[in-house]
Amino acid sequence: MSALMDFLTVFTQPQLLLLVGLGTFAGVYVGAIPGLSVTMAVSILISFTFAWDVYPAISLMIGIYMGGVYGGSRTAILLNIPGAPSAIATALDGYPMAQKGEAGTAIGVTTVMSFFGGFIGILVLAAAAPAVSGFALRFQPRDYMLLAVLGILLVGSLSSGSLLKGIFAGAFGIAIGSVGMDPLTFTPRFTFDQPMLRGGINFIAVMIGMFGVSEVLLQLHHVNTPAVRQKISRIVPSFGTIKRYLPLSLQTSFIGVIIGALPGTGGDIAALMSYDHAKRITKNPETPFGEGAMEGLVAPESANNAAVGGAFIPMMTLGIPGDAVTAIMIGALFIHGLNPGPMLMIDHPDMFWFIVGALVTANFFMLIFGLTGIRLFVKIVEIPRAVLIPLIMLLSIVGAYAVNNSITDVYWMLGFGVFGYFMRLYGYPLGPVILGVILSRLLDDNWRRAIISEREDLGRFFSGIFHSPLSTVLLLAVVLIFVSQTPLWRLIRRRKA
């Protein structure tokens, strides 16, 4: 009974309701601007809300978080510039839709599916948090490594056209990700004695450059082409459409919750994996993937919002952050005199249900704000290129600078922008580069941990894999997905048929 009261706290206190709404609204726009991340917004809020009570502070942060994860898809669809890494997969099919004048439909679908995904995430958090966090804890370094290998195999789905070019792009991403001071041994890698390279190459700067600046340069090829007129008759998707994609959304939401709940992986990986999943299970998409397939929007958007609820699972049950944002929120709880950890649910059960309530509220606000601003938002695409191009350029520069207040990041961003432009010109996909950067550390660190734990003995390493059901399943998945991408698979299938 008291759980219900705590759950309803947000709904019954207008001030909290207002803060969640305000946070969600701000989050949608912060998330949409590349370079302004949810993590950054929440860190600023931590100092801003220092003197507040804990409920209002957390309400605002949760709103920003939920709204921000959703907001990243806006610019991905409209401008081909993901507002956040978790929206990279959304750009793959969202932008082609905008180019066909269907940006309104695309945003409508992503909003509803983000809402649905967010809701599944919260539901799992509320109903099964201890079980899921127990499962997440069982992931050993070798399992994270296998998960990263599974991720690397997504290169196949992310590269339309030449697989070889995709592999090159992915390998390049992994190389970028390994530049800098190795956090495990403090050995500089690929730094060429340049102090500037010690901290590594900022991944957000790479993303903004590769997507933003390369897009600008590419658009310069046809400055005079008039902008695509957007059809904005149909924004809220019909019930039939929703029903049709619901099974896919449900599946990818669960992928999102689990990946989100794992400490060390977050919405970005979840969204990419879900995109891959959608591509695998959709036999005959209405529109091919990469050209504006609805499934390509539904999957990553359900997954990245479901990952929000997922990230709270280890935070609430164990005091372990599920991602960068929840890591900061744990700090916020400390500041407000709570002790996040395994005892939080026992000492402060109210906090758990309050957070669940705030997440539900934020999710509803996200749906409302998401569906109301669309008409105005899609107009962005209709802005003449002569105005839009300099605007995107400016936004990219500000965004890259804002990440760390570092001018070096701006140079990186511009450099990778030019590089990305040439990559696109010659048909190299950009998705795998970002995938490589995201997975580089996960793969490298966990491989080293895994093999060090086994006294650097490969035999022990493999016997360890087969002694753990979890590792065995992951290894099987890796092998199956790998084989399914080789000519061998086609051969087997042809023989069967």
Please state the closest distance from residue 396 (CB atom) to other proteins, in A: 22
Residue 323, helix vs strand vs coil: coil
Nearer to other proteins, 302 or 440 (CB): 440
Q: Are 446 and 145 in contact, with CB atoms under 8 Å apart?
A: yes
Nearer to other proteins, 125 or 330 (CB): 330
Based on its alpha-carbon atoms, the radius of gyration of the chain, rounded to whole angstroms, reads: 22
Please state the closest distance from residue 286 (CB atom) to other proteins, in A: 43
Please state the closest distance from residue 199 (CB atom) to other proteins, in A: 5
| Site of tokens 């931590």 | 46
Nearer to other proteins, 90 or 202 (CB): 202
Q: Which two tokens stand for residue 370?
A: 């998401």
Contacts 24+ apart (CB under 8 A), 409-414: 409/202, 409/204, 409/205, 410/205, 412/201, 412/202, 412/205, 412/206, 412/209, 413/205, 413/206, 413/208, 413/209, 413/212, 413/213, 414/209, 414/213
Please state the closest distance from residue 50 (CB atom) to other proteins, in A: 6
Q: DSSP states of 286-316 as a string?
A: SS-TTS--THHHHHHHHHHHHHHHHHHHHHH
Please state the closest distance from residue 239 (CB atom) to other proteins, in A: 42
Distance CA 308, CA 359 (A): 9
What residues contact residue 171 under an 8 Å CB cut-off, 6+ apart?
436
Please state the closest distance from residue 129 (CB atom) to other proteins, in A: 15
| Site of tokens 């529109």 | 287
Please state the closest distance from residue 257 (CB atom) to other proteins, in A: 18
Show the DSSP H helices in 262-373 as ranges. 267-281, 295-318, 324-335, 344-347, 349-372
Distance CA 94, CA 106 (A): 6
Please state the closest distance from residue 331 (CB atom) to other proteins, in A: 2
Nearer to other proteins, 346 or 376 (CB): 346
Q: List contacts with other proteins (CB under 8 A).
A: 42-44, 46-47, 50-51, 137-141, 181, 183-186, 198-199, 263-264, 314, 318-321, 327-332, 334-335, 337, 339-344, 346, 404-405, 445, 448-449, 452-453, 455
Q: How far is CA 322 from CA 136, 259, 288, 494, in A?
A: 10, 9, 34, 43
Please state the closest distance from residue 88 (CB atom) to other proteins, in A: 24
223 CB-side CA count, 13 A: 7
Nearer to other proteins, 161 or 183 (CB): 183
Nearer to other proteins, 160 or 191 (CB): 191
Helices (H) then strands (E): counts for the chain: 25, 2
Please state the closest distance from residue 102 (CB atom) to other proteins, in A: 38
Nearer to other proteins, 98 or 132 (CB): 132
Q: How far is CA 411 from CA 127, 150, 329, 417, in A?
A: 47, 32, 31, 10
Distance CA 342, CA 359 (A): 21
